[in-house]
Amino acid sequence: VSGSSDVLIVGAGVIGCMVALEAVNRGLTVTVIEKDAPGRGATWASAGMISPFGGHQRSPTLTALANASIDLWPEHARRLETQTEIDVQYRTDGAVHIALDASAAALLADLAGQGVAQLLTPAEARALEPAINTEVRAGAFVARDHRVNTRRLGMALWSACVAAGVTIQLGEQPAQLVQKRGRFHAVRLSSGGEIAAGSLVIAAGAWSAAIPGLPRMIPVRPVRGQMFSVDAGSPLIHHNVLGAGIYLVPRERAHILVGATVENVGFAPGPTAAGIAELAAAARKVVPRVADLPIIETWAGYRPGTPDDLPILGGDPDVEGVFYATGHYRNGILLAPITAQVIVELLSGGRPAVAIDSFSIERFASHEQSAAT
Ligand SMILES: Cc1cc2nc3c(=O)[nH]c(=O)nc-3n(C[C@H](O)[C@H](O)[C@H](O)COP(=O)(O)OP(=O)(O)OC[C@H]3O[C@@H](n4cnc5c(N)ncnc54)[C@H](O)[C@@H]3O)c2cc1C
């Protein structure tokens, strides 16, 4: 395999594929290399919530990025459906958060105080979601909490990439990066070929740190997440429902996804009996009937985690032409559209419309130093 393009992207998950499509839209030629199967990494495992507090954390810079991305989602979903005729099941019904104890209720009041959620009495929460636990202490409704079916999304993105003329190298991975005069020049593939490109985008999810020859250490590590799905027979919940440290996401045909564990176990294979048992116990507290429903599937995936739970976006400070679009942790589906926009703006030599300084890989320089001393 040999060739050349304006942009070479490593990884065909939601991030790599969205960057590829956005780049093609801007008139760039794109090659994507994928070691495995497109859309089968974290993207496939994901619950697909597009939520303003994705990852349940409170970083103002992340909230700004998330909000910009939520605004871009409807257009992305529409365009993908028109281009591929795959319905990605983008839904905007919102989320119902429930609190089963006083400290959880205080957190919901806090969310409402920030203006992102509307507090609900237990009766109001049960009016929206009749199947929730009768002992609910308080609830909150978040209208700007959306969702997408990420397995369909992965397929749709891939098929849109193919249709848009993206050059695709499946079963390939970088063996070496070739620089010329401090600038990225090409990638040598493990199969022996070489692909020259103007720019390189690292979008390899939880595996990003393992790419050989990168200009610096990327502090991305896998964070395993387990999930299971049940068949409710007829629709049981109508929104994303969050509580007791877990979430339930409604899917077509009355299926419900339950997730997710957050485990620092490297790439240890899953799911495990303990992980699924933990989720099932929590799900029973939120929507008791879930415990009696037949399980359809259990699975696990690896989120690309970073030391501060924030993504890594932007160019390498030392080697021109190397860009990072990784470390999206619990928010990769949420953040994919804005990531694609930001990265392609940088690839085109422009300035992103949203501030990305706090997501620069340079923020980890002091970590590396302290680790070395
Ligand atoms: C259980 C679970 C639930 C989640 N729920 C949500 C949610 O509700 N909302 C949300 O926003 N996010 C959620 N996430 C997080 C989200 O799934 C990820 O942040 C997102 O999918 C990351 O996308 P990605 O494209 O970077 O990685 P991936 O989808 O993992 O794709 C990376 C791709 O790169 C390829 N690759 C890796 N290394 C190489 C290499 N050397 N050469 C070639 N190819 C390579 C891989 O094979 C893979 O296909 C969840 C994650 C999990 C595990």
pLDDT tens column, 305-354: 999 999 999 999 999 999 999 999 999 999 999 999 999 999 999 999 99
Average pLDDT over residues 26-39: 96
| Ligand 1 residue neighbourhood (C-beta within 6 Å) | 10-16, 33-36, 40-43, 45-49, 54, 173-174, 203-207, 211, 225, 227, 259-260, 301, 303-304, 326, 328-334
DSSP state of 362: G
At residue 370, the pLDDT reads 45
At residue 114, the pLDDT reads 83
Pairing of strands 240-243, 246-250: antiparallel
Q: Which atom of ligand 1 is nearest to the CA of 328?
A: 19
Note the Cα 347 to chain centre separation in Å. 21
Q: Does residue 154 carry a pLDDT above 80?
A: yes
Contact partners, residue 74, CB within 8 Å, separation at least 6 = 90, 92
Quick: pLDDT tens for 213-250. Answer: 999 999 999 999 999 999 999 999 999 999 999 999 99
Note the Cα 38 to chain centre separation in Å. 14
Q: Does residue 304 carry a pLDDT above 80?
A: yes
Q: Does residue 369 carry a pLDDT above 50?
A: no
In terms of Cβ atoms closer than 10 Å to its own Cβ (0-12, 13-18, 19+), residue 212 is exposed
At residue 100, the pLDDT reads 97
- CA-nearest of 372, 285, 369, 15 to 161 is 15
Q: What is the DSSP string of 203-249?
A: --GGGGGG-TT-SS----EEEEEEEEEEE-SS----SEEEETTEEEE
Q: 3-class DSSP state for residue 45?
A: helix
Q: Which atom of ligand 1 is nearest to the CA of 147?
A: 8
Q: Does residue 55 carry a pLDDT above 70?
A: no
At residue 366, the pLDDT reads 60
Task: Compute, in angstroms, the gap from residue 333 CA to the centroid of ligand 1.
Answer: 9
At residue 111, the pLDDT reads 86
Q: Which of 1, 22, 32, 35 to mutate to test the pocket of ligand 1 (most atoms within 8 A of CB)?
A: 35
What is the three-state SS of 239-300?
CEEEECCEEEEECHHHEEEEECCCECCCCCCCCCHHHHHHHHHHHHHHCHHHHHCCEEEEEE
- Cβ atoms of 69 and 333 within 8 Å: the answer is no
Q: 3-class DSSP state for residue 58?
A: coil
At residue 373, the pLDDT reads 37
Average pLDDT over residues 155-161: 98
Instruction: Using a pLDDT cut of 70, give the percent of the chain over it.
Output: 96
Average pLDDT over residues 93-113: 94
Average pLDDT of every residue of the chain: 94
Tokens coding 1: 């395999």
- CA-nearest of 137, 115, 134 to 126 is 134
Pairing of strands 322-326, 194-202: parallel
Average pLDDT over residues 258-273: 98
Q: Does residue 372 carry a pLDDT above 70?
A: no
At residue 331, the pLDDT reads 95
Give the total residue count for the chain. 373
At residue 58, the pLDDT reads 67
Q: Which atom of ligand 1 is nearest to the CA of 224?
A: 53
